Amino acid sequence: MANYASRNDKLNKWVQEIAELCSPECIHWCDGSEEEYNQLMSHMVKNGNAIALEKRPNSFLFRSDPSDVARVEKRTYISTSIEIEAGPTNNWINPDELKNTMRKLYKGCMRGRTLYVIPFSMGPIDSPMSKIGIEITDSPYVVCNMHIMTRVGEKVIKKLGGKGDFIPCLHSIGAPLEKGQKDVSWPCAEMEKKYISHFPEENLIWSYGSGYGGNALLGKKCLALRIASNIARREGWMAEHMLILRLTNPKGRQYHIAAAFPSACGKTNLAMLVPTIPGWKCECIGDDIAWMKIAPDGRLNAINPETGFFGVAPGTSYDSNPMAMDSLKENCIFTNCALTDDGDVWWEGMDGDAPEHAIDWKNRDWDLTVSDTAAHPNARFTAPARQCPVICEDWEKPEGVPIDIFIFGGRRASVVPLVHEAYNWDHGVFLGATAASETTAANIGSVGMLRRDPFAMKPFCGYNMGDYFKHWLNMGDKLGTKAPRIFYVNWFRKDANGRWLWPGYGENSRVLTWMCQRVDGEIGADETPIGLIPKSGDLNLDGLSTDEEDMKELLNVDTNAWKAEISEIEKYFTQFGDRLPGRIKQQLEALKKRLS
């Protein structure tokens, strides 16, 4: 057993308690150093867990078990003493029952493995908006990803001090090794033993059985959203599944935008946007999570609590996101991508021709005649944010940046127009509360099914969603006239033949610039039953080949289609019972009236 590396008695006691429960071979306190990262990677390459990529300096490919490829929402739990506090959109188990089940699984689960203690900060270490977490894990893959995604090491332990508070995050892959037993390349537990559990009343996270993504990198969705959303509600701030970007117009005026889309719906692409309108500049502050507090001047300031990008690889290309591609040239971790014969990664949608031969994500020979994809549809890259060519110079500003605009959206082939603006804050909250999207491979389950995903937070809200709506309303009351404007977008509308109507990617800057002009009061908008849409000629289409008929369809608000949507919204809201705020009900009635 290693010596304790902390002056914090509470932390030392917790590590000792977990070590006694899980029975690791040894304990390693992570210092966050480059040397530590390199040693762990070398060890994993030697053991066959990782493949060093010849074409990308200091970059590695991992292949997960086929049962461990994405979020497992059906195995993710919000455990509160009273079930209604978790709400109808979360899976609930009584805390005593859940802990009893998981303690039995944790008993001896780290035999033959190292217990790693990862001190990490979500947000700049000196920011008043940041939180410290400690993750215990038996996965070196997790340690290396946390190096990229968070601020890890001795500076965090120093900031914590002897009396500082932290969020305990316990993780195990659930694959103990008996003496002499040979390990596998991706150890994990079978599906029915996977648990991603949150105890918000204690600010506690327990995860077991999965080594993949947010199931295992507990600073990400578990802490930064499910636990932080509870803390934010109690403390009066916001923890949201949102990108943050800075858009600067030709006159040098800066606008800060926070946008919420479900996974694999274009968040990373928008966060790293390259505007196609001359004179406009976009800079990335974050691509996935925003923590926001009301600043002394009354405005809502946001930080990105992460330090890296954990992005969906398939579909990422120089066409769709050149800045992401430039961020992936070195110092990256790739998971479930294909391996080319010349020692590089490949995925569907990447630039150029597909390789004639590759090794697929299941470690099988793959060529152009194989029907299966070479990369898993949810294959991922983990890349340091500092490598992004358009990373904003203020992305680690301790006080954050002031938000001007909120955007909600999703993947809808019909009904929802390209863009519309909320009439006011309450209407904007209603837009967020009724957001819907067609599901993607980021979540295990059916692909292409329409599901309500309020604020893109359905998988991540750590308490009753009805109370979450109320918290948004309360924040608007506190912000008053300084509240950000709210818009809703749909880049994914198709015509009757299934053809995309909007080119997307860099052309989305045309929609963002319209929003900025609306914020500045430079242009008007047309009223529709669902919100305000661009007047004819106000959306800058210079140099765009999209024809007039396509634009008409993109901005069309089909009253009959929206009337049909009403019944679905009512059915969705029914599950919240008396937790649904009256002001949301009023917005629904107002929509009905406008449609009639």
Q: What is the pLDDT of residue 4?
A: 61
Q: What are phi and psi of 210, to 5 degrees?
A: -115, 140
DSSP H helices, 339-440, are 425-433
Q: Is 60 within 8 Å of 52 (Cβ atoms)? A: yes
Strands 60-62 and 333-335: parallel
- Paired tokens of 20: 């006694």
Q: How far apart are CA 375 and CA 338, in angstroms?
A: 5
Residue 20 C-beta-side C-alpha neighbours within 13 Å: 6
% of the chain beyond a pLDDT of 70: 98
Is 447's pLDDT higher than 90? no
pLDDT attached to residue 138: 98
Write down the pLDDT at residue 439.
Answer: 73
Q: In the annotation, is 284 catalytic? A: no
Over residues 308-350, the pLDDT tens digits come to 999 999 999 999 999 999 999 999 999 999 999 999 999 999 9
Position 305 scores a pLDDT of: 98
Confidence of residue 290 (pLDDT cuts 50, 70, 90): very high
pLDDT-derived band at 595, boundaries 50, 70, 90: very high
pLDDT at 448: 61
Paired tokens of 384: 């340091």
- Find where tokens 């109808």 sit: 88
- pLDDT for 263 equals 73
Query: pLDDT at position 266, please?
Result: 86
Banded model confidence at residue 2, pLDDT cuts 50, 70, 90: very low
* Average pLDDT value for the chain: 96
Question: Distance (Å, rounded) from C-alpha 42 to C-alpha 53?
Answer: 12
111-169 pLDDT per residue, tens: 999 999 999 999 999 999 999 999 999 999 999 999 999 999 999 999 999 999 999 99
Torsion of CA 321, 326, 327, 328, to 10 degrees: 100
pLDDT at 177 over 60: yes
Q: What is the CATH number of domain 309-387?
A: 2.170.8.10
Parse the chain into domains and list their residue ranges: 9-54+73-235, 239-308+393-595, 309-387
Per-residue pLDDT of 480-517, as tens digits, reads 999 999 999 999 999 999 999 999 999 999 999 999 99
The answer to whether 448 and 513 are in contact (CB under 8 A) is no
Residue-wise pLDDT for 424-446, tens only, equals 999 999 999 999 998 765 554 55
Predicted local distance difference test score (pLDDT) of residue 5: 74
Q: Which of 30, 109, 144, 265 is labelled catalytic?
A: 265
Level-2 CATH architecture, domain 239-308+393-595: Alpha-Beta Complex (3.90)
Q: How far apart are CA 412 and CA 344, in angstroms?
A: 34
What DSSP element (H or E) covers 232? helix 228-235
Q: Where does the pLDDT of residue 40 fall: very low under 50, low under 70, confident under 90, or very high at 90 and above? A: very high
**Does position 86 have pLDDT exceeding 80, yes or no?**
yes
Task: Give, in words, the CATH class of 9-54+73-235.
Answer: alpha beta
Answer with the residue of higher pLDDT: 477 or 545.
477
pLDDT band at 106 (very low <50, low <70, confident <90, very high): very high
- pTM of the complete model: 0.96
Per-residue model confidence (pLDDT) at position 441: 55
- pLDDT band of residue 262 (cuts 50, 70, 90) is confident
